[in-house]
Every structure is written in structure tokens, then in C-alpha cells.
Amino acid sequence: MSLTRRVLSLAAIAGALSAASMPASAVFPAAYKPTVLQPAGTPQRHEFDLRPALRRAQREHKRLYVYLGASDCPYCRRYEAFLERHADELVPHFAKDYLVIDLRSSLSVTAQQLYFRVGDKSLPYAEFMRTIGDERERMLVYPSVWLFDGAAKPLMQMPAGTGTFETVPEQLEILRLQQ
């Protein structure tokens, strides 16, 4: 292994350890008034029923900011810590247009076990993603974010993970659906 690669590997490990040292119990910060969804049907399947959230979004003319986090995922903790740090700046922007839905999962929950219920169908991750035309169907990544309107229509192709919007201006780009 070249020196550069070794340095990069060590940096990656150090980064992961540093993120892992954040509290494991953290969730989407309360300041954003998230609606917490626990999975149903465990342990065989982990199904999240999005229907009540969609109905509420329609009623209140808001969009959904659906966050899938894992209890044991360092990168989820990093994103949540970022949101917590910048709540004063970000909460008004979230509150204006979005309802935050916090889906609780863990890294052991695979794409095959993860289901979403929308309308009269409950679909496994990959099929759900294909149905909504999301390119992330190939790989489940924690954390994941979806933006939906009240009819469960995706508003923008989101990236895998949250690493590209962990600054305030970039989080605002996402909220503004800036492509």
C-alpha cells in the first residue's frame, strides 16, 4: 500500500472513530419537531408506514423530509450533530416547508428487510425505490433522506448519505430543491 493510501485509510478510520465517539442515542434533533416512526413487523421485517405522514403533509400543504437513521451509525450521528449545532439557522427553513419524519432503524436492517408502506402497498426497499424512480435502489446507505410531496412524489433525486449537505448553505440548497 502506498504511503498516500495508508494515510488516507488511517484518516478514514480516525474520522469514523471520531464520529463513533458521539452519543449513540442521538436522533433527529427535537428542535426540528420530528415525527418519530418506529418500524412495524419486526424482527422479520422493518416496515415504515408513511401514510399518516403523507396525509398530514396534504392537510398542511407541506413537504416531507424523510430521514432514515440507524441507532448504531456514526455518519447518522455526524449529520444529527450538525443539525443540532445549526438548529437556530436551519429550523425556520425546515419549519416553513417541511414536516420531518424520523425513521428509526439500525445497521443490521438490510435492504431486504426494510419495507415502506405507501398507498395500499408495502414494498421492500429496492422495489420501493424503483417505483419512485430513485437511483439509490442499488444500495441502502445509512443515513438516507427523501423529499416527498403529499402525494409521495419524490421532489428531487437525493444523494446517497448526507455528507454533501452538512454545511448550512448546502442544507439550504437541499431544502430549496436546488439541482
Q: Which member of 41, 124, 154, 159 binds other proteins (CB under 8 A)?
A: 159
d(CA 112, CA 45) in angstroms, rounded, equals 8
Comparing C-alpha atoms, which of 44, 54, 60, 43 is closest to residue 121?
54
Binding status of residue 138 toward other proteins by CB under 8 A? yes
Q: In this structure, what is the dihedral angle of CA atoms 145, 128, 141, 44, given to the nearest 10 degrees? A: 120
Cα–Cα distances (Å) from 136 to 7, 21, 28, 52, 168, in that order, read: 30, 28, 22, 24, 24
Nearer to other proteins, 151 or 156 (CB): 156
Q: Which member of 117, 127, 136, 149 binds other proteins (CB under 8 A)?
A: 136
Block residue for cell numbers 449529520 = 79
Stretch that binds other proteins, among 30-38, 55-63, 101-109, 162-170 (CB under 8 A): 162-170
Stretch that binds other proteins, among 23-31, 38-46, 114-122, 170-178 (CB under 8 A): 170-178
| Alpha helical stretches, state H, 2-142 | 3-20, 51-60, 74-85, 87-97, 125-131
Binding status of residue 168 toward other proteins by CB under 8 A? yes
Question: With contacts defined by CB under 8 A, how many residues of the chain interact with other proteins?
Answer: 22
Binding status of residue 88 toward other proteins by CB under 8 A? no
Cβ-contact 87, 76 below 8 angstroms: no
Per-residue cell: 32: 426540528
Binding status of residue 97 toward other proteins by CB under 8 A? no
Stretch that binds other proteins, among 71-79, 104-112, 118-126, 154-162 (CB under 8 A): 154-162
Q: Which residues bind other proteins (CB under 8 A)?
A: 1, 5, 134-136, 138-139, 157-160, 163-170, 173, 178-179
